[in-house]
Structure 1
Amino acid sequence: MSKHDLAARPIFHHTRDSIEAHLTIVFAALAVARRIQNQSGLAIANVIKQLRPLRTSTITINGTTQGFPPEIPAAQRDIIARLGIQIAY
């Protein structure tokens, strides 16, 4: 995993609090990415590439809101299952 995988950028913070907050977010992102890699057995870039297209659509007509979940292919279902996420529909 590299800095590029986390989309990390140079720090442009000047106060100690903002620098510490930035580093906290970066290390939290690193921890989450490592956990996803360990649980899925895939590189984080691969997980993101495969799961990014999955989107839920929400439409409101005449005050009634309806959600339309994505159709999830088997390969993506396997990744989701390895991450311990249960699909509600």
Structure 2
Amino acid sequence: MNKQIEKAEKVANGQRPIKRDRFVKLAGKKPGVDWALVERARQLLGLKGYVSNISPEVLDGPAVVAAYHSLWQVEKSFRMAKSDIRARPMFHHQRDSIEAHLTVVICALAVARHLQEATGISIKKLVQTLRPLRTVIIDVNGHELTAAPAIDADTQKILDQISSHTGH
């Protein structure tokens, strides 16, 4: 906070250009330090508040704080989604397209999290291991030939873990 006050004082003294400094106020044409805001910030120093639109009957205060503290997992999932699944940005302009895209992304994240919990393996490792597995059906003059992938023991163990968690 002291650094922010120093920046505001430098702006007020003309030693620093006006940027988006926290405690700077414009009184007329001359910038100054907003000392009332500085005092209010000092009174609130060390306090942290949480705001939720969920009623306390549904999610009480400690549960709101716990949910906030678990946000790192969601953020981690989105970082994983971009890099490990090789997701590219999508540019949608209509509400239906945006909502559909978000639905697909959230579903993919839910599946990825489920697979991680079922196997204990990172999604990056799962994608690297399972992506090459492809079954190919070849049609030669009306005769279908199926070429199944070669599955090593480690990959089969992963598939078995997934199957045991899905009930299939």
CA distance in 2, matches of 1:71, 1:17: 41
How many angstroms does 1:7 deviate by?
Answer: 3.0
Q: Which runs of 5+ in 2 are unaligned?
A: 1-76
Amino acid in structure 1 at the alignment position of 2:87:
A
Partner of 1:22: 101
Partners of 2:145 and 2:90 lie apart in 1 by 42
Equivalent position SS for 2:151: coil
Question: Which moved further from structure 2: 64-73 or 41-50?
Answer: 64-73
Aligned-partner residue type, residue 52 of structure 1: R
RMSD: 1.7
Change (3 A) 1:25 1:56: same
Task: Find the aligned partners of 1:56 and 1:67 in 2 and give their Cα distance.
Answer: 7
Looking at structure 1, the residues matched to 89 and 136 of structure 2 have their Cα atoms a distance apart, in angstroms, of: 35
Structure 1 or 2: larger helix share? 2
Task: Point out the structure with max Rg over C-alpha.
Answer: 2
Aligned partner of 2:127 in structure 1 is 48
**Matched residue, 1:62:** 141
1:9 paired residue number: 88
Residue of structure 2 equivalent to 1:36: 115
Count of aligned pairs: 85
Provide the secondary structure at the position in 2 that maps to 1:32. Answer: helix
Task: Tell me if structure 2 keeps the 8 A contact 1:8–1:26.
Answer: no
1:17, CA displacement in angstroms? 1.0
From the superposition, tell whether residues 65 and 81 of structure 1 become closer, same or farther in structure 2 (CA, over 3 Å): same
- How much does 1:61 deviate? 1.9
